[in-house]
Amino acid sequence: MTRVTPFVKWAGGKGQLLAQFEAHLPVRFEAYVEPFVGGGALFFHLYNQGLLDGKRAVLIDQLEELINCYRVVQGQVEELIAELQRHEPYKTDADHYYTVRAWDRRPDYAQRSDVERAARFIFLNRTCYNGLYRVNRRGQFNVPFGRYRNPKVCDVQNLQAASRALQDVTLIVGDFDRCLEVATGADLVYLDPPYHPLSSTANFTSYTSAGFGLEDQRRLARVFEALDRRGCQVMLSNSDTPFVQGLYEGYEQTEFQAIRPISSKGDGRGAISELLITNGYRKVQSG
C-alpha cells in the first residue's frame, strides 16, 4: 500500500509529532472523528498504520474550500490531477499566482467548478508564503507569493493514494461542535484547533474570516467535556499556556516540544511547548 501524506500543507500540522502521539492513542476505538481536519496528518497516519480498517471516519472543518478539496480528492481525483497539471508550468510565476489568487474577488467565482476550486486551493497552498491559509474579513485568500524554487504542485501518486484513503470517509463542512452529532462512546475524537496565542503578537487565527478567539476556546473545552461524559476517547492539541492548562484542569496534560515558526523571520523558528490533553482512556503505552 502506498503511504499517504497530507496533500496540503497546514500551519500547525502534526507531522513532526506523530511518532510521539502513537503512545497516547487508545488501545482500541470504534470510529475516528476529527473536527479541525486541516491537513489531516493524524488521519492519514492512522490509515497508513491500518488502524482505520473497517472503521467509520468523519472529517469536519469549518472551511468550505478545504472540505471541497477533500471531496474532490475523494471522488474526482483524476479530473483534479488534470487541472493541477495546467497550473504546474506556472508554479514559479508570481503573475499567474496573483491571477489565480484573485479568482475569489470576482463575481463569477461561484460558477467555478468544484474541481477548479480544489485545484486552485492546492496550487495556492503549495506556492504561497509558508503554506499558510489565511483570509481577510471578506473571506478572500490573501497570503503573498512564496517564491519557492521548485514547489511540487501536482503529486499524482499521493493524490491517488489520498483518494483511496478517503473513499468511505464522511466529510462535513461545519463548526467543531458538529462532532457531537456523530461521535458516540468508544470513538476516538481528535481536536486540533487554532492554538491559543503564546503572546499578543502571535495571534494567528484567521483561517476563516471570523477567527478563533477566547470564547471559542472556552466553547471547545465544553465540547471536550461533553465528549468525555459521553464516553468518547478524546485527544486535544493546543499551546502550553496557563489559560489552556486551566481550561482542561483535571485532564491528563502531556507536554511536547515542536518546531514552529514563532516569528515572521526565518530565524524565528524554534522549539515551543505544546500540550496533548487526553481524558483518561486506556492508552497504547499502558497496554
| Cell representation of residue 94 | 508570481
Q: What does the pLDDT average to over 233-242?
A: 96
184-197 pLDDT tens trace: 999 999 999 999 88
Between 258 and 40, whose confidence is greater?
40
CA distance 45 to 126: 21
- Dihedral sign of CA atoms 176, 74, 20, 185 in order: positive
**pLDDT band at residue 209 under the 50/70/90 scheme:** very low
Q: What is the mean pLDDT of residues 60-87?
A: 97
Closest CA to 118 of 68, 49, 191: 68
Chain centre distance of CA 151: 20
Residue 238, pLDDT above cutoff 50? yes
Note the pLDDT tens digit of each residue in 112-158.
999 999 999 999 999 999 888 999 989 899 999 998 999 999 999 99
Q: Give me the pLDDT at residue 258, please.
A: 82
pLDDT of residue 205: 42
**Predicted confidence (pLDDT) at residue 244 exceeds the cutoff of 80:** yes
Average pLDDT of span 250-254: 96
Task: Give Cβ neighbours of residue 36 (< 8 Å, ≥ 6 apart).
Answer: 60, 61, 176, 191, 192, 193, 194
Q: Is the pLDDT of residue 268 over 70?
A: no
The amino acid that residue 216 corresponds to is D
Instruction: State how far the Cα of 276 lies from the Cα of 213, in Å rounded to an integer.
Output: 20
Alpha helices in the chain (DSSP H): 18-21, 41-48, 64-75, 77-87, 94-101, 114-127, 156-165, 179-182, 214-230, 242-247
Cα–Cα distance, 3 to 189 (Å, whole number): 23
Summarize the confidence of residues 168-191 as an average pLDDT.
97
203: left (phi over 0), alpha (psi -120 to 50) or beta: beta
- Tens digits of residue pLDDT in 89-103: 999 999 999 999 999
Q: How many of the other CB atoms lie within 10 Å of CB of 12? A: 21
| pLDDT for position 204 | 43
Domains and CATH numbers, the chain: 15-62+174-278 (3.40.50.150), 72-157 (1.10.1020.10)
Question: Checking phi first, is residue 172 left (phi over 0); if not, alpha (psi -120 to 50) or beta?
Answer: beta
Which of 12-16, 66-70, 147-151, 227-231 comes out lowest in average pLDDT?
Answer: 12-16
pLDDT for res 19: 87
Q: Residue 270: what pLDDT?
A: 66
Among 102, 118, 129, 109, which Cα is nearest to 66's? 118
Residue 269: the pLDDT is 55
pLDDT score of 124: 97
The per-residue pLDDT for 17 is 87
What is the mean pLDDT of the segment spanning 27-42?
96
